[in-house]
Each structure stands twice: as structure tokens, then as C-alpha cells.
Amino acid sequence: MDIKISTEKFDTDYKYITSDLLLMEKHEDLNGEKKVTDIFTNCWAIGLTITGSLKSVKYNGHYININGQGVILVPPQALIEWTLQGNSEFSFKALLTRIHWPEMGSQNLYFINKNKFDLVLQDQIENLFFSEKLTQEPNFEKLCSNVAEYLIQFGNCYKAETKSIAAQIKTQIDQNITDQINLDKLSKKIGVSKSYLIRTFKKQFSMTPGEYIQHLRVYSSIYHMLFNKLSTTQAGFESGYENLGHYYKYFKTKIGVTPSSYKTKDKNR
């Protein structure tokens, strides 16, 4: 593996397929049920559960009951709360890509349960996640696109909520994450009080706007380090942090290691 991150919470391995495509494998210690939050910035992700199972997915504020294993297509800017279940470990693989797929142009999430895989999808999944010649496949990016298109055509579609006030707030934050976001100004722009803005956002997304901003900036900095090869300082500034002390604090709290440790592991590949 090119990068290995080990924390008290999880272990994650990254393998570079191309400069625009990463294979991620993540292992979570699990004893029963556990909730994990992820934010996808400018990446599409195709994920596959390996051990354990997904009980449900909360996608941009809406619960989806899954209860099993399968393959999932997650669009950019998605806020995901996974409810995991298992007796020892939950593990999954995911392909992260910043390749723009204009033919998709969707903010919807798609899922196919493992027990509904047909031979075509099963073969594609094997080639995508388990081939020993993974990095030698000349048409690997096309294979990713084919699997994504298959999920869109045949998978269960879960549409993103875009019209609620909470969704409008999230969109404003997503589009202005590099700026210093002022909730008073944001509430006036949307036409609601600050207290209502915070309350309605937390009701839909299970976190306050301030917490979401910090989560998004941390994940944005990881994106910049992985795909754009920025230094920790550059990644922090590009993600909207003016105070690097705050950046290090929130990064360590969320990820379990400091940005410098994360970047050092990247340099060792």
C-alpha cells in the first residue's frame, strides 16, 4: 500500500491507481453497532462492504435502511452517517476519484445489495477491487465509470434533499468553505434567524453548522494532501483555516493523527 494510517479508531490504507484515482481500504473495530460520519468533498466514491454489514445510511439528513452488504455509489459533497453492525470488525474498500463524470451529473446515492449482484456486476466488482493486476489495467478508469453507470441504471436510487432550508445552508457552506463563514450573515441571506438556522440544520444533519464546517474543512484538507499533493500548511489554508493551531486540533480530533503525521506517511510511499 502507498499510504497506511493507523489510529485508535480505525486503520486505513490508500493505494494510488492513477493520480486521479485512489483505492482505499478501511477497517473499523466493531462490537455491535457503531455510527461513523464521513464527508465526501470533490470525490466520487464507489464502495464495497467486505466484513460486517451496513444497517443504515443517513445521506444528507435522510435515513436509508440497508441491513446487509453491497456496493454503493456516493456523489461529491455528500454528508454520510454510516450505521455499522458486526461482532468483530467492519471493513470496506472504496475507489475515490476526482475524475469528472459529466454524463452522471447527479447528487443521488445508489446502492445494490450483495444478494442482487448479477454475473456482470460480480465480474466488474472482482476486477475493480480484487484484481492482482489492479495498477496494470489500462482501462481502469473506464471500468470505474462502467460500474458507476451500472449502479445508476440498476441500483436503488436515493435522491438528495435540495429544497429544505437545511439543505440550502449546507450548499452555501459547501460553496464557500474557503471563506470565513459568518452564520449571522448566512442566516440573513437565507431569510431565517440564526437560532432557527442552527436548529434546523442540526435536526436534519445531526450536527450544527459550525461542526459541519470543521468536519468539511478537515476532509477538504485530506483531499488536497492526497490528490493535489499539498503540504499540511497549504492544505489547511486551502480548506479555509486561517489559524493552523485550530486546524491541527480539529484534524487530530476527527482523524486520530495530526496532519503532519498523515502527510509524513504520504511521503514515505
d(CA 167, CA 174): 10
- Same domain flag for 30 and 141: yes
- Same domain flag for 91 and 55: yes
d(CA 151, CA 209): 31
- Same domain flag for 227 and 255: yes
Whole-number pLDDT of residue 127: 85
- Same domain flag for 16 and 82: yes
d(CA 193, CA 183): 10
Please give the average pLDDT of every successive group of 10 residues along the chain, which has 269 residues: 76 87 89 88 91 88 86 92 87 88 71 92 88 65 87 88 87 92 92 95 94 95 91 94 92 88 58
The domain containing residue 115 runs over which residues? Answer: 3-158
- Same domain flag for 16 and 72: yes
- Same domain flag for 38 and 143: yes
Whole-number pLDDT of residue 269: 47
Bridge pairing between strands 3-6 and 10-18: antiparallel
List the CATH number of the domain containing 260. Answer: 1.10.10.60
Reported residue count of the chain is: 269
Which amino acid type is present at position 239?
Answer: S
Burial of residue 212, with CB atoms counted within 10 A of its CB: 0-12 exposed, 13-18 middle, 19 or more buried: buried
Which amino acid type is present at position 130?
Answer: F
- Same domain flag for 39 and 150: yes
- Same domain flag for 142 and 194: no
Phi, psi of 51 (to 5 degrees): -125, 155
User: Of 120, 136, 158, which one is at a domain's C-terminal end?
Assistant: 158
Buried residues in 234-263 as b, exposed as e (16+ CB within 10 A): ebbbbbbbeeeeebbebbbebbbbebebbb
Whole-number pLDDT of residue 237: 95
Going edge to edge, which strands form the sheet with 79-86? 32-39, 79-86, 53-59, 62-68
User: Of 102, 134, 158, which one is at a domain's C-terminal end?
Assistant: 158
The domain total for the chain is 2
- Same domain flag for 39 and 143: yes
Alpha carbon of 233 to those of 148, 260, 263: distances in Å? 34, 9, 10
d(CA 74, CA 178): 23
Whole-number pLDDT of residue 265: 57
d(CA 212, CA 234): 21
User: Of 158, 192, 224, which one is at a domain's C-terminal end?
Assistant: 158
- Same domain flag for 199 and 256: yes
248, three cell numbers: 491541527
- Same domain flag for 244 and 131: no
